[in-house]
Chains A and B, each alone.
Chain A
Amino acid sequence: MLQYFQSYLRQPVTPGEAGNYLWATIYVLAVIIGVSLVVLTMNWGERKALAHMQIRLGPMRVGPHGLLQPIADAIKLLIKEDIVPAGADKPVFWLAPVAVVITAWTTLLVVPFGRTHAITDMNIGILFMLGTSSLGVMGIVMAGWSSNSHYPLLGSLRSSAQMVSYEVAMGLTVVSAILMTAMNDSGMYLRHAESANGLAGTLSMIGIVQAQATQGTWFVFKFFPLGLIAFGIFAVAMVAETNRAPFDLPEAESELVAGFHTEYSGFRWSLFMLAEYSGMVAVSSIAVTLWLGGWLRPFATVHGRRIEIPHYWQGGALDFASALLPALLFFGLALACFLAVARMPKLSVFRLQTVGLALFGALLGFVGVVLLAPPVRDRVQDVFWFGAKVAVFMYLYIWYRATFPRYRFDQLMRVGWKVLLPAGLAVLIATAVVGVVL
């Protein structure tokens, strides 16, 4: 058993490529559970960050600093009464949240959390992600129409119009990034002779990150400022694609009550939330994969002076230092927990919380120790860097929501069609030309 695990851990490919059903299943479960946990964490983090930006405290009651609030919310949603409106189209009403969640999770199938940490690698990875995420709008349309009510219908109309318009700009910038994969390290296109040897541009998510590794640059910095502009356009379009503030017109509460999910309650409503946040993770990982080097650490081409610590490590000092970061992060979190334990009021009502927080801190510290072990460390740092980059985007989503006022619908359309689309086209053409001329 242990040997089986070890032999798998040495494989340099994803479970899908290896054709290993057991590991593929484990990875599917790990990704789905992991993303659901991220959604729970985001629930707490978003409310907390929003509250602090508005000089409030946010959730404070359930658990220390409201840490258990998402769990309490989840339980509340699960046991809430499930209402189906009398005039609703029952099968479609029932199917809509399911469709939304399925599409959001299917998208995660090809997300490359590391060279070996993806469920599978597809030759059409990025196309697959864009396609399935564009299917997500179908669920929203189904929800809005089947509710048989005016606000949801308006919300889903807005949603479909918005998604169709921003998908175009998004697709153009993605194409410009894919063009960059078809270049060699001096910035010229690979010739036909080279592409016959399997050297060619690629749509595979893992292939795109590997192209950035071989070209020695993240695509956001390639052909400065072309990569940066493309990335910027994508970063705007992806917020619109996920229906988040300032583009959250489909659920604009001041006009449409709650938009397309007005008639939903309880568990079905929570499925919509789950899908929305999973979708945010998915589009953020597209951005990270295409422009920010995926699982590559910053300055991945610089290794530093060679050091040799017997039995544990041989290689560049910088590689070593960055491999320690995940463990250090967990130690830092554990330390924060213990500090909070020390600052907890010494009252009998707080005893349970104090003990719980101390146990949680000990758990985090234990995870940190496990992450120090060389085989684990080597396998996990890819996931760490990918996760760190995605986390930046997730925080940006919260930040946007706290700072930007919502667009009006005509403004939204103007930004999409008259700013982002021409800019995306220009960047695409410029990238194509630069690859030939340089």
Chain B
Amino acid sequence: MSMAVALLAAEAGAGQTMTPVATGFFFYLLSALAIISAILVITRRNPVHCALSLIVTLLSLASLFLMLYAPFVAGVQIMVYAGGIMVLFLFVIMLVNLERALKEEQFNKQWLAGVAVALGLGALFFVVYRNGQNLFPGTPLELPEAQNTQQIGLGLYQNYLLPFEIASLLLLVAIVGAVVMAKKRS
């Protein structure tokens, strides 16, 4: 048993010694990828192209999570959003008659509101960035990568058990609602 302990401890330690490579390059590459594909999501007229760009956005965000030493969040992002939800998105979009959607004129032009919201959000970010410098740590917290999953588990099931259960109850309500709506009226 003691050998097993040493073995597993060495395993946990191995994750910590891994050093990131070319952080700056990957950060800017992934951010650029995320921003460009996010712009494509709203500018492309073809819904399938939009959905595919959204997948690229989600994947580059997942890689950014990986760079922040949060492998579990990154894995869940890929699995749930890119692998699960987006497949269902595409499933629905493919069934829609695309030719008509392409020809339709978009009459409720909301670009004014959009620009206002974007400017407001940008200003908010700027203020936070200017005034919050001493609020956030200058360097990222050196959390051991190997314990990310464990930390999330402990957080969810000890400190935040009630909110977590409430959130899952909410999802249950949504599922029941969907079943009720899909049920045939007798």
Contacts and interface: CB of A to CB of B under 8 A. Distances in A.
Interface of A: 13, 16-17, 19, 89, 92, 121-124, 127-128, 130-132, 134-135, 137-138, 141-142, 144-145, 153, 156-157, 160-161, 163-164, 167, 184-185, 195, 197-200, 202-204, 206-207, 210, 214
Contacts of B71: 122-124
B1 interface: yes
Contacts of B148: 123
B87 A164 contact: yes
Given A123-B145, A160-B87, A131 B94 contact: no
Contacts of A203: 72, 75, 149
B84 A145 contact: no
A197 B5 contact: yes
A interface majority secondary structure: helix
Contact of B4 (A163, A195, A206, A214): A214
Interface residues of B, number: 41
Contacts of B17: 17, 19
Contacts of B146: 123, 198
A164 B7 CA distance: 37
16 contacts: A17-B14, A17-B18, A121-B14, A122-B71, A123-B146, A124-B149, A135-B78, A138-B52, A138-B87, A145-B94, A153-B94, A157-B95, A160-B87, A167-B84, A198-B12, A203-B75
B78 A132 contact: yes
A120 B175 CA distance: 39
A-B CB proximity, top 8 nearest:
A134-B83, A198-B12, A127-B75, A131-B78, A131-B79, A214-B4, A124-B75, A124-B71
B36 interface: no
Contacts of A17: 14, 17-18
Interface in B84-140: 84, 86-88, 90-91, 94-95
A195 B13 CA distance: 13
A164 B88 contact: yes
A127 B72 contact: yes
Nearest to A204: B11
Contacts of A185: 1, 4
A167 B84 CA distance: 9
Contacts of B14: 13, 17, 121
Interface in B14-40: 14-15, 17-19
A131 B75 contact: yes
Contacts of A138: 52, 55, 82-83, 86-87, 90
B72 A142 contact: no
Interface of B: 1, 4-5, 7-9, 11-15, 17-19, 46, 48-49, 52, 55, 71-72, 74-76, 78-79, 82-84, 86-88, 90-91, 94-95, 145-146, 148-150
A350 to B, nearest CB: 52
A131 B82 CA distance: 8
A92 B48 contact: yes
Contacts of A145: 48, 90, 94
B171 to A, nearest CB: 14
A322 B17 CA distance: 34
B8 A163 contact: no
A134 B12 CA distance: 28
B87 A199 contact: no
Given A138-B87, A167-B84, A185-B1, A19 B19 contact: yes
B108 to A, nearest CB: 27
Contact of A157 (B52, B76, B91): B91
Contacts of B90: 138, 141, 145, 160
A92 B17 CA distance: 41
Contact of A198 (B11, B95, B149): B11
A207 B147 CA distance: 13
B149 A123 contact: yes
Nearest to B8: A199
A207 B149 CA distance: 14
A44 to B, nearest CB: 33
Contacts of B79: 127, 130-131, 134
